[in-house]
Amino acid sequence: IAGITQAPTSQILAAGRRMTLRCTQDMRHNAMYWYRQDLGLGLRLIHYSNTAGTTGKGEVPDGYSVSRANTDDFPLTLASAVPSQTSVYFCASSGGEGYTFGSGTRLTVV
């Protein structure tokens, strides 16, 4: 692993189902973020974590939850998916050398 790994790359999900998007980094960055990317709306912050054991809400947190049990992992959970959560999700981390983004998870809720 070099940088940030997101999984899955893409997913089609039935509405009402629970889904966890995985994000793992190997750079020992303290801060991690989840964004959603929607056409015309840019990147919007869902949740963030400044350090292991702490999380915070971003601009669009409703319907999403996160946990940060350790430095490397920052999973994003959709408890009961809805079609408006169809988007591309990016995980990012930041350290002294700047920000690093994962390659994204394309989620379609039908």
Partner 1 sequence: ILNVEQSPQSLHVQEGDSTNFTCSFPSSNFYALHWYRWETAKSPEALFVMTLNGDEKKKGRISATLNTKEGYSYLYIKGSQPEDSATYLCASLKNGNTGNQFYFGTGTSLTVIP
What is the Cα–Cα distance from 66 to 50, expressed in whole angstroms? 13
The residue within the footprint of partner 1, chosen from 1, 14, 28, 42 (CB under 8 A), is: 42
Is residue 48 a contact point for partner 1 (CB under 8 A)?
yes
Is residue 104 a contact point for partner 1 (CB under 8 A)?
yes
Nearer to partner 1, 19 or 46 (CB): 46
The β-bridge relationship of strands 87-95 and 76-78 is: unpaired
**Tally of residues, the chain:** 110
In this structure, are residues 61 and 78 in contact, taking their beta carbons and an 8 Å threshold? no
What is the Cα–Cα distance from 98 to 57, expressed in whole angstroms? 21
In this structure, are residues 74 and 91 in contact, taking their beta carbons and an 8 Å threshold? yes
We find the least distance from the C-beta atom of residue 101 to partner 1, in angstroms, to be 4
Site size toward partner 1 (CB under 8 A) is 26
Give the footprint of partner 1 on this chain (CB under 8 A). 9-10, 31, 35, 37, 42-45, 48, 50, 56, 58-59, 88, 90, 92, 94, 97-101, 103-104, 106
